[in-house]
Amino acid sequence: MTETLDTADGHSVLTMERRLKHPPEKVWRAITEPERLADWFPSTMTPELRPGGTVDFGSEGSGTVTDLDPPRLFAYTWGDHHLRWELHPDDQGTRLVLVATFDDRAGAASFASGWHICIAAMDLALDGRPGVDPGYDHVALHEQFIAQFGLDAGTTETTADGWQVRYERQLTRPADEVWALLSSQAPPDAVRNGQVLEHDAEPGGRVRWELVEGTGHGARVVLTHTGSEGEPASALSAVNARMKQLVADLSEAREPASS
């Protein structure tokens, strides 16, 4: 199993490779036939199998078939994502390659963990065990891919008034839980406005936490630290530490209390 996250033409490109023990013809049916897609795909899906054909995702809209070469290649759009499924013969089985292209780089770990679980569910269905839980911990997978893809650090830029450190992080906990934790840990002089919380930072500058729309059921938090004095490298280190602590505190809150 391999996963990589790259950039091409300004888009993020997630590539996931899996080896399945079933032949390409059988895997092809699993990725193109609605009754088999229902066993593992994360949405209702009915594809019109021709180049330019419509892919019906039910209440989630529709996409377009961009590439079709049975039983080797099937590619289509889904919202602002492009999904390319390649099936390569591998002894008696198949080397499956998924290439997902999208713009939301901060959501890459969520996409990777979701597809990891979906492909595992497909493999079970191919074994004749549809509906069996693959047994993966989505939160643990998400955090694994955050680290693997280097999404666990902020960035620094120079502004007209000084510098700004920014860290955008997709979380696995809902917005109300994240906001409650941030509010409980905020200093007394913090200013709250909707789902934005601001306060002074040490040794200087201003810190701003904002919850924005993310992927799936988890919140997306954008943490910025702006200042005009001192070294931005120190602020970057502090921002990374703050975000790491937030994730750790959310994880601790998720754990069931011991008896």
Give tens-digit pLDDT for 45-61: 999 999 999 999 999 99
Classified as helix, coil or strand, 108 is helix
The mean pLDDT of 27-54, rounded to a whole number, is 98
**DSSP alpha helices (H): ranges in the chain?**
24-32, 34-37, 108-126, 138-148, 175-185, 232-254
What pLDDT is stored for residue 231 in this prediction?
83
How far apart (Å, rounded) are the C-alpha atoms in residues 104 and 125? 30
Q: Model confidence at 256, in pLDDT bands (50, 70, 90)?
A: low
Q: What would the pLDDT profile of 82-112 be if each residue is shown by its tens digit?
A: 999 999 999 999 999 999 999 999 999 999 9
The share of the chain scoring above pLDDT 70, in percent, equals 97
In the chain, the largest separation of any two C-alpha atoms, in whole Å, equals 65
Q: What is the pTM of this model?
A: 0.93
Q: What would the pLDDT profile of 101-151 be if each residue is shown by its tens digit?
A: 999 999 999 999 999 999 999 999 999 999 999 999 999 999 999 999 999
pLDDT at 164 over 60: yes
Classified as helix, coil or strand, 154 is coil
Quote the DSSP letter at residue 203. S
What pLDDT is stored for residue 69 in this prediction?
98
Classified as helix, coil or strand, 63 is strand
The pair of three-digit structure tokens given for residue 102, joined into one six-digit string: 């999208």
**DSSP alpha helices (H): ranges in 59-202?**
108-126, 138-148, 175-185
pLDDT at 223 over 70: yes
Radius of gyration of the chain from its Cα atoms, rounded to whole angstroms: 21
What pLDDT is stored for residue 204 in this prediction?
83
The mean pLDDT of 189-209, rounded to a whole number, is 92
Range list for CATH 3.30.530.20 in the chain: 2-148, 155-254
What is 155-254's CATH topology?
Answer: Alpha-D-Glucose-1,6-Bisphosphate; Chain A, domain 4 (3.30.530)
User: Could you tell me the CATH superfamily of domain 2-148?
Assistant: START domain (3.30.530.20)
Quote the DSSP letter at residue 131. T
CB under 8 Å to 218, separation ≥6 — which residues? Answer: 110, 170, 171, 172, 173, 174
Note whether 162 and 228 are within 8 A (CB). Answer: yes
